Structure 1
Amino acid sequence: MSELPEGLAAFVETAGWGEAEVAPLPGDASFRRYFRLTQASGATAMLMHAPPPHEDPAPFLHVAHWLNDNGMRGPAILAEDASAGWVLTEDFGNDRMRDWLDLHPGEERAAYDAAVDALAALHRLPPGPFAPYDMAVYAREVALLTEWYCPAHGLDVDVDGHAAAWEQVLAPVLARQNPGVTVLRDYHAENIMLLGGRPGAPQGLIDFQDALVGHPAYDLVSLLQDARRDVSEELEAAMLRHYAAASGGTDHDFLADYATLGAQRNAKIVGIFTRLNARDGKPRYLAMIPRVWAALERDLAHPALAPVAAWFDANIPAELRAANGAFPA
Structure 2
Amino acid sequence: MSVSDREQLRLDFLAAAGLAEAARAPLPGDASTRRYERLTPPGGPTLMLMDQAPAAESPPADPAWTPEQRHAAGWNAVARLSAGRIEAFAAVAAHLKSLGLSAPEIPALDAPNGLAVLEDFGDALFARVIEDGAEETPLYLTAIEALAALHEAGTPPEVLTGPGGDWPLLTYDETALQGGADLFVDWLPRLDARVAFDAAAVAEWREAWAPIVASGAAGASVMAHRDYHAENLIWLPEREGAARVGMIDFQDAVRAHPSWDLHSLLQDARRDVSPALEAEALDRYFALRPQVDRAAFMADYAGLAALNEARIIGIFARLIARDGKPRYRQFLPRMWRHLNANLDQPALAPVARWFDRHVPVEVRA
Q: Same fold (TM over 0.5)?
A: yes
Q: What is the rounded CA distance, in whole Å, between the counterparts of 1:250 and 1:204 in structure 2? A: 29
Counterpart of 2:36 in structure 1: which amino acid?
Y
Among 129, 136, 149, which residue is 1:108 paired with? 136
Distance 1:76 1:197 in 2: 16
> Of 215, 222, 234, which residue of structure 2 is paired with 1:172?
215
Shift in CA distance, 151/308, structure 1 to aligned 2, threshold 3 Å? same
Q: Percent identity?
A: 44
Q: Which amino acid aligns with 2:19?
A: W
Shift of 1:199: 10
Note the residue ranges of structure 1 that are not aligned, 5 or more in a row: 325-329
State the alpha-carbon separation in 1 of the partners of residues 295 and 43 from structure 2.
55
- Does residue 195 in structure 1 map to residue 236 in structure 2? yes
CA deviation after TM superposition for structure 1 residue 318, in Å: 1.8
Separation in 1, partners of 2:240, 2:133: 10
Secondary structure of the structure 1 residue equivalent to 2:7: coil
What does 1:243-282 align with in structure 2 at a 5 Å threshold? 243-248=285-290, 249-282=292-325
Distance in 2 between residues matched to 1:302 and 1:101, nearest whole Å: 31
Distance in 2 between residues matched to 1:138 and 1:207, nearest whole Å = 20
RMSD: 2.0
1:89 matches 2:129: no
Distance 1:6 1:315, change over 3 A: farther
Post-superposition CA distance 1:50-102 (Å, at most 9, x none): 11212432221221122122322110111111111101110001100100000
In the superposition, the TM-score normalised over structure 2's length comes to: 0.83
- State the alpha-carbon separation in 2 of the partners of residues 169 and 307 from structure 1: 11
Letter of the 1:299 partner, please give it: N
Show the 5 A alignment for 1:93-242.
93-105=122-134, 107-128=135-156, 129=158, 130-154=169-193, 155-157=195-197, 158-175=201-218, 177-178=219-220, 180-196=221-237, 202-242=244-284
How far did residue 274 of structure 1 move?
0.9
SS of aligned partner of 1:263: helix
Gaps of 5+ in 2: 57-83, 159-168
**Aligned residue number for residue 10 of structure 1:** 12
Deviation by residue 1:198-250 (Cα, 9 ceiling, x = unmatched): 99661110011111101111100000001011101111111111111112254
Who is 2:55 aligned against?
53
Q: Distance in 1 between matches of 2:87 and 2:101?
A: 19
Code of the aligned partner of 1:24: P
User: Contact between 1:168 and 1:307, CA under 8 Å: does it hold in 2?
Assistant: no
Corresponding letter in the other structure for 1:166: W
Q: 1:182 to 1:118 in 2, by over 3 A?
A: same
| Runs of 4+, deviation exceeding 6 Å | 1-4, 197-201
TM-score by length of 1: 0.92
